[in-house]
């Protein structure tokens, strides 16, 4: 395929993928399977790598992320992003409507919308292509998070129809409930602290440096506010409909996410409907927004210093009930984290019966000043499980005792520890505290780790109680006779389990590393460590400085990795797993060339065509070795945008050849 043919094919594939992306994520009406979509995307990725000169900033391949943003640039908004005045009572909404009528002496139509509990965003499009996405910030200026927003599949990269040449659209980015629950399940599996609610998680996700992680989080959006549009539009509702025609995911009238009315009764009906139905939405809302529809009337009403007079937000009250605290119990997680849980007199809250509520940690118990038998206020507002937000002091019995956080593990009685700067207490008896030992085995056999089928939590419990397994290495000495004697274990099940255990020896190193259950080492971090150090022995002997030079590895993770390998029992388990034949080193891919043979190359900064990981892979496939820091042994420094000034200074001082991304591509392609 020559260059001209490649250009035509890249454009064809991009248009096709954009269409199917719109059908799937906006229309919820896919025409092809996920596999067919992935094959088209893979074909486009391969063409863009072969012909990088035709790769667009808004290519569908940008959806998968990979760009690294070290610092988010501050941008002044072209149109200030004002906040809405909030109301918590229906009387205030009525007063607002009366004030509108005093100013506007003609028929008034209102638009009612959902108030999405997410992150406000402003996105600029030029000639139908996304060019910039900026957070609300302080309303006058926000942060440029364009790379991360490009990964959100419900936000179009290219528009269709009769769109304006240059305009901005605003709305909310949020995390769907299903994605939030999935993310927390994954964090629970690796022993990390759970995220509190979808809104904060969405906000934190949009500020991550690695857009690949943002892409994996599955954020969604609704966009509805047009700015800088001279399109002969009469009002807000018409503008939302028009934006939908251009390819945006907008609130639809058929879902009752947006509705027009000319009366206060219509406004109240919309509020009452969603106050009840919000529990059934796949995302969080925290109220209703009411706007005057007509742009002419909006102009007459104008603005206060902080908000428009023609719009107001009605905030729902958090679901709160009062019930009695029966007792506080303590759970031990896989990593030894101790979580206090309030056991309550059952009560109905938000359509479900609540018996337990999160207390998070010792500081929370102290802050609430909890006593035995207290009557507590419980809320459910975007949390995984309800939480206690206060105590009814008037109902407290004088003789009730203050609840003190436990000092010893409730499972193995080991004295608990609390590390500096951390809120949670931990049981340090990692290998012999039953919940931790069983939890580590469950994590090890999970789908994203060693993927051993036929071992559920009940079977692990049974094997552990019969002392057939105490740690993950014991799985590899199980035999048929031991398994067939277990309850509910038939001959076929036993053979399948043994086969699955044997097959796990083929699992690649990065997943084995993840399966070890090192605290804070999730799936992504395990891959980064594996790619950087190549084998387990290099990770074990890595210094603190070498660890934190690895992408995504900060102080907390580096210390945790070192502490894990200082434990002799962990090293003994790894030795046994090695002897059983598990993979503890990266399997090197076949080399493309020897153009970098014997050369040490350092990659720093962010790049246009390739991600840093892709560049490092290319270095190795061409015979080179990746360096983590610039030294006298370094042969090349590939310098991208926003690279560290220290590395650049060191390279210049040592006379090391500095290459741009294009120069590097030419070097290995020559």
* Dist. CA 212–CA 221, nearest whole Å: 18
| DSSP β-ladder status, 657-659 and 636-639 | parallel
Q: Which helix (H) or strand (E) holds 491?
A: helix 491-503
* Dist. CA 380–CA 321, nearest whole Å: 9
Catalytic option among 115, 387, 616, 647: 115
What is residue 210's DSSP assignment?
Answer: B
Structure tokens at 406: 């436990």
Task: Transcribe 257-305 into DSSP letters.
Answer: SEEEESSHHHHHHHHHHHHHHGGGSSS-EEEEEEEE-BHHHHHHH-B-S
Query: How far is residue 190 from each of residues 415, 436, 513, 517, 519, measured CA to CA in Å?
Result: 23, 12, 12, 6, 7
Structure tokens at 443: 């994590």
Q: Which of 665, 481, 667, 670 is nearest to 49 (CA)?
A: 665
User: Is 207 among the residues known to form the active site?
Assistant: no
Alpha helices by DSSP H, listed for 26-89, are 34-50
Q: Which segments within 444-567 are labelled E, that is strand?
A: none
Angle formed by the axes of helices 34-50 and 3-25, to 10°?
A: 150
Angle formed by the axes of helices 555-566 and 568-579, to 10°?
A: 80
Sign, CA torsion 421/422/428/431: negative
Which burial class, exposed, middle or buried, applies to 290 when counting CB atoms under 10 A from its CB (0-12, 13-18, 19+)? Answer: buried
Helix (H, G, I), strand (E, B) or coil at 157: coil
Q: How many CA atoms lie within 13 A of 412 on its CB side?
A: 19
Annotate 472-495 with b (16+ C-beta within 10 A) or e (fewer). Answer: bbbbbebeeeebeebeebeeebbe
Would you report the helix, strand and coil content of the chain in percent, each value rounded to 5? Answer: 40, 20, 40
Annotate 225-264 with b (16+ C-beta within 10 A) or e (fewer). Answer: bbbebeeebebbbbbbebbbebbbbbbeeeeebbbebeeb
Helix (H, G, I), strand (E, B) or coil at 87: strand
* Dist. CA 385–CA 399, nearest whole Å: 30
* Dist. CA 318–CA 31, nearest whole Å: 40
Q: Which helix (H) or strand (E) holds 3?
A: helix 3-25
Structure tokens at 135: 């957070």
Residue with tokens 């994203």: 448
- Sheet strand arrangement including 110-116: 86-87, 311-315, 285-292, 110-116, 258-261
Residue with tokens 């994954």: 186
**SS3 per-residue string spanning 397-453:** CCCCCECCCCCECCCCCCECECCCCCCCEECCCCCCCHHHHHHHHHHHCCCCCCCCC
Please give the positions annotated as active site: 115
């Amino acid at each position: 395929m020559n260059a001209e043919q490649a250009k035509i094919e890249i454009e064809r594939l991009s248009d096709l993928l954009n269409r199917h992306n719109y059908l799937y994520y906006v229309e919820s009406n896919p025409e092809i399977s996920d596999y067919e979509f992935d094959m088209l995307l893979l074909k486009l990725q391969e063409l863009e790598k072969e012909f990088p000169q035709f790769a667009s900033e808004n290519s569908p391949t940008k959806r998968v992320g990979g760009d690294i943003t070290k610092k988010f640039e501050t941008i002044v908004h072209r149109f200030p992003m004002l906040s809405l005045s909030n109301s918590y009572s229906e009387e205030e909404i009525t007063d607002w409507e009366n004030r509108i009528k005093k100013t506007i002496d003609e028929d008034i139509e209102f638009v009612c919308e959902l108030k999405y509990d997410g992150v406000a965003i402003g996105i600029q499009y030029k000639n139908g292509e996304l060019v910039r996405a900026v957070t609300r910030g302080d309303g006058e200026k926000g942060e440029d998070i364009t790379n991360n927003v490009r990964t959100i599949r419900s936000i179009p990269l290219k528009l269709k129809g009769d769109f304006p040449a240059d305009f901005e659209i605003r709305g909310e980015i949020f995390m769907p409930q299903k994605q939030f629950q999935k993310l927390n399940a994954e964090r629970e599996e690796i022993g990390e602290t759970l995220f509190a609610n979808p809104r904060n998680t969405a906000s934190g996700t949009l500020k991550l440096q690695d857009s690949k992680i943002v892409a994996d989080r599955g954020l969604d959006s609704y966009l509805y506010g047009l700015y800088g549009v001279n399109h002969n539009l009469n009002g807000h509702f018409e503008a939302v409909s028009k934006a939908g025609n251009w390819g945006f995911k907008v609130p639809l009238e058929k879902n009752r996410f947006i509705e027009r009315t000319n009366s206060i009764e219509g406004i109240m009906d919309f509020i009452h409907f969603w106050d009840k139905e919000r529990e059934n939405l796949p995302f969080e809302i925290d109220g209703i927004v009411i706007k005057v529809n007509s742009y002419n009337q909006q102009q007459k009403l104008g603005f206060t210093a902080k908000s428009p007079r023609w719009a107001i937000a009605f905030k729902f009250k958090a679901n709160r009930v009062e019930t009695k605290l029966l007792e506080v119990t303590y759970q031990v997680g896989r990593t030894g984290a101790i979580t206090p849980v309030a056991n309550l007199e059952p009560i109905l809250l938000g359509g479900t019966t609540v018996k337990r509520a999160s207390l998070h940690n010792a500081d929370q118990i102290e802050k609430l000043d909890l006593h035995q038998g207290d009557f507590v206020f419980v809320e459910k507002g975007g949390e995984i499980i309800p939480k206690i937000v206060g105590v009814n002091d008037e109902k407290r019995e004088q003789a009730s005792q203050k609840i003190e956080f436990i000092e010893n593990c409730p499972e193995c009685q080991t004295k608990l520890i609390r590390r500096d700067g951390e809120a949670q207490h931990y049981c340090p008896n990692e290998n012999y505290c039953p919940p931790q030992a069983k939890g580590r085995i469950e994590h090890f056999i999970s789908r994203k780790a060693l993927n051993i089928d036929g071992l559920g939590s009940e079977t692990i419990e049974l094997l552990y109680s019969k002392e057939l397994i105490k740690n993950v290495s014991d799985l590899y000495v199980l035999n048929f006779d031991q398994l067939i004697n277990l309850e509910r274990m038939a001959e076929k099940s036993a053979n399948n389990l043994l086969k699955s255990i044997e097959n796990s020896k083929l699992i690649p190193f990065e997943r084995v590393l993840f399966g070890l259950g090192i605290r804070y080492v999730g799936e992504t971090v395990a891959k980064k460590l594996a790619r950087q150090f190549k084998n387990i022995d290099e990770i074990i002997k890595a210094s603190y400085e070498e660890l934190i030079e690895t992408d995504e590895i900060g102080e907390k993770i580096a210390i945790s990795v070192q502490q894990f390998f200082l434990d002799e029992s962990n090293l003994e388990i790894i030795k046994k797993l090695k002897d059983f034949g598990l993979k503890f080193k990266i399997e090197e891919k076949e080399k493309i060339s020897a153009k970098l043979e014997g050369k040490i190359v350092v990659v720093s900064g962010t790049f246009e065509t390739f991600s840093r990981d892709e560049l490092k892979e290319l270095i190795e496939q061409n015979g080179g070795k990746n360096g983590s820091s610039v030294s006298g042994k370094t042969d090349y420094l590939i310098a991208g945008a926003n690279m560290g000034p220290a590395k650049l200074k060191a390279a210049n001082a040592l006379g090391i050849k500095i290459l741009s991304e294009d120069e590097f591509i030419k070097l290995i392609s020559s």
